[in-house]
Copies of this chain bind each other. A is one copy, B any other.
Amino acid sequence: MIKRRSSRRLQIGRLFIGGLEPIAVQSMCNTDTRNIEQTVKQINCLEKAGCEIIRVAVPDLKAAKCLGVIKRSINLPLVADIHFSHELALEAINQGVDKIRINPGNIGSETKVKQVAEAARAKNIPIRVGINSGSLEKSILAKHNHQATAAAMVESALKHIQLLEKFDFDQIVVSLKASDLHRTAEAYSLLAEQVDYPFHIGVTEAGPGLKGTVWSTLGIGFLLQQGLGDTVRVSLTDDPIAEVKTAWEILKALDLRKRGVTITSCPTCGRTEIDLISLVKQAEEALADVDKDIHVAIMGCLVNGPGEAREADLAVIGGRGQGLILRRGQIVKRVQESDLIKVLVDEVKRYQ
């Protein structure tokens, strides 16, 4: 039901983004990039959790020199995150990364921009212009009453983009991240009217735990709902695994991607006569790695249970110390509470 913006299709390693390609899930390592072993280990864990593109910070030449080894030790497309330095960008490209993130207006001179653009074109790797409301140029802020407005963010993005275009470089991805939702939505909408480059979307500095999850979900959700976004980064002050899981839940909720089992379950109330919260947690863990796009409903009573069961592939309706197992709305078994999850997992594995 979501009509996606028509964006340019680009290659990042073995993956494509933009055009009609699936919206890719990405994250960023929080290890020290110079610690190759830890970084590779984190990337492999993130891949298992569903990460499709991984970015690492490149704060110095020592970190840049590690990129080749990291790249050869992982399966995911590798993105180098660089600030201010064309030397680091050239070294990252030389090391074989699949994409770099750098804002060309901040690296000193057009000669340097030209060198980076030519090196990236020679290897056919894209560059992401990453605008962040917290680090806009002073000259642009001055024109916008010293406020990092959506219009100021877009002006900054266009300035960096035009520098790359000047050197015939058009393999560009753009992000426009602010730490509040209205500004994020406005910035991407404004830029969508002006360029067809794919969008990397996210809410920056969304913060910790529930706050970060809710703000990221809303910010990213509103953009996706409008058809904007070709790759998603959820930013949380947390283990990046949580970022990947959250991104997938957003994409699944909006019917934009499919991945694994989806559990529908009731919130429990004074009518519930079974330990539903615990049963659902057990089911969630047991089904986490099942690679089947199916819908399981786990319900605590007969008020809404049968209706949800009808709409699910498999369902459990709990009663007093026991439960019914349903397949496509038809009762197939009556099972004791203690066996419910085991039987449900068996049914999921057998389901075709």
Q: Residues on A close to B: CB < 8 A?
A: 1, 28-33, 39, 56-59, 63, 81, 83, 132-136, 148, 179, 181-182, 204-215, 217-219, 221-222, 225, 235-240, 242-243, 245-246, 249-250, 253-255, 262-272, 276-277, 280-281, 284, 297-299, 303-308, 310-311
* Closest-CB distance, A161 to chain B (whole angstroms): 20
**Contact status A205-B297, CB under 8 Å:** yes
User: What's the Cα separation between A267 and B31 when bound, in Å?
Assistant: 12
Q: Please determine whether A218 and B250 come into contact, CB atoms closer than 8 angstroms.
A: yes
Residues of B within 8 A of A240 (CB): 267
CB pair A205 B267 closer than 8 Å = yes
- Shortest 8 CB-CB distances between A and B: which pairs? A134-B307, A57-B270, A134-B304, A214-B249, A235-B267, A134-B308, A30-B268, A237-B265
Contact check: which of B28, B179, B264, B267 meets A269 at CB < 8 Å? Answer: B28
- A237–B30 touching, CB < 8 Å: no
Chain B CB within 10 Å — which of A31, A63, A281, A304 has the most? A304
Q: Given contacts A205-B304, A221-B217, A311-B148, is CB(A181)–CB(B266) below 8 Å? A: no
- Which chain B residues border A181 with CB–CB below 8 Å? 253-254
**Docked pose: A211 CA to B280 CA in angstroms:** 12
Task: Find out whether the CB atom of B270 lies under 8 angstroms from the CB atom of A208.
Answer: no
In the complex, are the beta carbons of A253 and B215 less than 8 A apart? yes
Contacts of A262 in B (CB 8 A): 211
* Given A32-B270, A240-B267, 10 new contacts (CB under 8 A): A57-B270, A148-B311, A182-B255, A205-B297, A205-B304, A210-B242, A217-B217, A217-B221, A237-B265, A237-B298
Residue in chain B with minimal CB distance to A217: B217
Partner of A210, one of B33, B135, B207, B246: B246
Partner of A208, one of B254, B284, B305, B307: B284
Known contacts A218-B218, A222-B221, A253-B215: A237-B307 contact under CB 8 Å: no
Q: Are A148 and B307 in contact (CB under 8 A)?
A: yes
